[in-house]
Amino acid sequence: MLSEKELAEVEKELAHYEKRKAGCIGALKAVQKHRGWISDECLKDIAQYLEMTPDELDNVATFYSSIYRRPVGRHVIFICDSVSCYTVGYRELLRHLSERLQIKPGQTTSDGRFTLLPAACLGVCEKAPALMIDEDVHGNLEPPEKVDEILERYK
């Protein structure tokens, strides 16, 4: 069941589109904000509300990289692995993060604090290498140890 608050936010998203279906990406994002990810149960509820079949909505949900169909940690780290970052220390940053958090891209730390995911160019190439934690971009992470102090801010 979607909560009243969730429904209100979904409605706000739908208001900008003539057809309810067109607002489905916004609706998924709005609900995900509350729940962290989109479970099968949750997907069915949203689909029903938008008058779509669950498959139809899942078809959309699985296409987009910031809709999570599996549980994620309290904070999601998107590490940019595109070409500008690659040329200025992406690999060293990834190695450092993986060692420190003991996870590979696609995994979540055992304490549920961080999920590490690869990201397409974050559009901050002048500050490469870069990553994004939740809604914050952090750049110029060379040497990679610079990320240690940043991680401390996300509990």
Partner 1 sequence: MDNRTEKKREQKPLTGSFRADGKPLDIFEYEQAGGYEALRKAVKSMTPRDVQEEVKSSNLRGRGGAGFPTGQKWSFVPTGEGAPIPRYIAANADEMEPGTFKDRILMENSPHMLIEGMALAAYATGAEHAYIFLRGEYVTAARALEGALAQAYEKNYLGKNVLGSGFSLEMHLHLSAGRYMCGEETGLLNSLEGKRAMPRAKPPYPQVSGFMGKPTVVNNVETLCNVPHIIRNGAAWFKSLSLGQDGGTKIYGASGRVKRPGAWELPMGTTIREILEVHAGGMRDGYKFRGLIPGGASTEFLIEEHLDLAMDFDSLQPAGSRMGTGTMIILDDRTCPVGMQISLQSFFARESCGWCTPCREGLPWIVHTLNSIEDGKGEMEDMDLLLDQARLLAPGHTFCALAPGAAEPLMSGVKYFREDFERHIREKRCPWPME
Binding site for partner 1 (CB under 8 A): 16-19, 21-26, 28-29, 59-60, 63-67, 78, 81-84, 86-88, 90-92, 95, 118-128, 132, 135-137
Please tell me whether residue 138 adopts helix, strand or coil conformation: strand
Q: Closest distance between partner 1 and the C-beta of residue 130, in Å? A: 10
Cβ-based nearer residue to partner 1, 64 or 110: 64
Q: CA–CA separation, 2 vs 28, rounded Å?
A: 11
The least distance separating partner 1 from the CB of residue 150, rounded to whole angstroms, comes to 16
Q: How far is the CB of 55 from partner 1 (least distance, A)?
A: 13
Residue of 111, 48, 103 lying closest to 77 (CA atoms): 103
Rounded to an integer, what distance in angstroms lies between the CA atom of residue 155 and that of residue 152?
7
C-alpha span between 42 and 64 (Å, rounded): 17
Asked whether the beta carbons of 130 and 138 are under 8 A apart, the reply is: yes
Which of 2/117 has CB closer to partner 1?
A: 117
Nearer to partner 1, 28 or 147 (CB): 28
Minimum CB distance to partner 1 smaller for 63 or for 111: 63
Side-chain-facing half-sphere of 13: CA atoms under 13 Å: 21
Can you say whether the dihedral through the CA atoms of 19, 25, 29, 32 is positive or negative?
A: positive
Least distance between partner 1 and beta carbon 149 (Å):
21
CB of 123 to partner 1, least distance (A): 5
Tokens of 20: 């309810």
Instruction: State which residue, 50 or 147, has the beta carbon closest to partner 1.
Output: 50
